[in-house]
Structure 1
């Protein structure tokens, strides 16, 4: 029998998060501050996800006080996203929250079970197709070599800070997600990569994009 998870949804334009990465957030809208605080109290995961479309716009030229006391734009979230647990937030004097979401797994939205003040959905895990990790090592090595070369060309002083050995020691399937702690492509490309369930295809696509830079 398939198990489902109840996950709070935080839709953010052009934000695509991958398992094994950390997402720092500055949370100021009342509904999402409430979401963070309640999720921490309930030990409930939060999904950080890209959007399908804007449902209603934010008020223009809002003051800081208005931003902190009223909700802004409302978005329809994508149905494939990643989620994880939130560290206890750091709260400012005016109520804003600084948090980090430790992204653990990909999920597919099955059904919304709460809409207001923020979305909570019943979700199922999205798994990769079965693949032998060993067969992916050459692609992983190719990507690491490309990143080493690009770093040496664009920012030579940072080459020593790129730990090639550590990245090569990561399991190739985990690597195909964790590398996005360093990489950023356009959001549609990243969403496509997130939704792929074939690790070889995902690594191939990453490699091809890097070769075009």
Structure 2
């Protein structure tokens, strides 16, 4: 059960959205955000005064000031909040459920709001079993090793080898620096097995190329 929500109908029909290129939230994933723009500070204030729900969504083109929105995003609940001395908000969103955008509302708020359809993704509200399920962990980790070697990156392999399937797949999908269309493909994969298959394919494709990532580590 995601953040206490049992059915799609339990989630609000209208939600504020935070369009952010290359950033993705998935159900039960945790996304730390540093909020400093006035319109999004306003959004967080309003969310904290209400149900704490914010929809993360990727822009899909159009004018920079008001880009089109991707058809699918993921709603998260603010599960941690801190204010810095210079007025920024440090929040963590914990993913609840994906949603389909039914339409954008004409609003007076400085941030954008959409009518969200959660029903197609009601299964997101139910955590998958803790067992391996159909995840081919060996194949996934083999692709991950090649991907990281190509980019000069490293991870905690003990964690990767023992993490529950959903935590492993979703954390990699959220953290690895894929292009926005690839992030969207991972988000829109129908289920965990589908997402794992897309993730494995993307890592293998990238490893087969030249790789242009910076040296570092994935947290």
> What TM-score results when the alignment is normalised by the length of structure 2?
0.70
Gaps of 5+ in 2: 1-6, 208-219
SS in structure 1 at match of 2:135: helix
* Residues paired across the two proteins, number: 191
- CA–CA distance in 2 between the matches of 1:96 and 1:105? 26
- Which residue number corresponds to residue 170 of structure 2? 177
Residues 136-192 of structure 1 show CA distances to partners (whole Å, capped at 9, x for unaligned) of: 222x33112332455567668x5555413322x335xx6443332442311101102
- Which residue number corresponds to residue 97 of structure 2? 105
Structure 1 residues 42 and 150: alpha-carbon distance in aligned structure 2, compared to 1, 3 A threshold: same
SS in structure 2 at match of 1:76: coil
- CA–CA distance in 2 between the matches of 1:113 and 1:153? 44
The alpha-carbon deviation at position 203 of structure 1 amounts to: 2.1
Q: 2:38 aligns with which of 30, 33, 41?
A: 30
- CA–CA distance in 2 between the matches of 1:116 and 1:153? 47
- CA–CA distance in 2 between the matches of 1:111 and 1:104? 20
- Which residue number corresponds to residue 162 of structure 2? 166
- CA–CA distance in 2 between the matches of 1:154 and 1:78? 28
CA contact under 8 A between 2:103 and 2:115: conserved in structure 1? yes
* RMSD between superposed Cα atoms in Å: 3.2
1:141 matched to 2:138? The reply is yes
The alpha-carbon deviation at position 29 of structure 1 amounts to: 2.0
- Which residue number corresponds to residue 191 of structure 1? 184
- CA–CA distance in 2 between the matches of 1:162 and 1:152? 17
- Which residue number corresponds to residue 41 of structure 1? 49
Structure 1 residues 13 and 116: alpha-carbon distance in aligned structure 2, compared to 1, 3 A threshold: farther
Asked which structure has the greater CA Rg, the reply is: 1
Q: 1:8 aligns with which of 10, 16, 24?
A: 16
- CA–CA distance in 1 between the matches of 2:184 and 2:156? 30
CA contact under 8 A between 1:148 and 1:159: conserved in structure 2? no
- CA–CA distance in 2 between the matches of 1:154 and 1:177? 20
> What TM-score results when the alignment is normalised by the length of structure 1?
0.72
- CA–CA distance in 1 between the matches of 2:77 and 2:8? 21
- CA–CA distance in 2 between the matches of 1:166 and 1:211? 22
Gaps of 5+ in 1: 58-72
SS in structure 1 at match of 2:181: helix
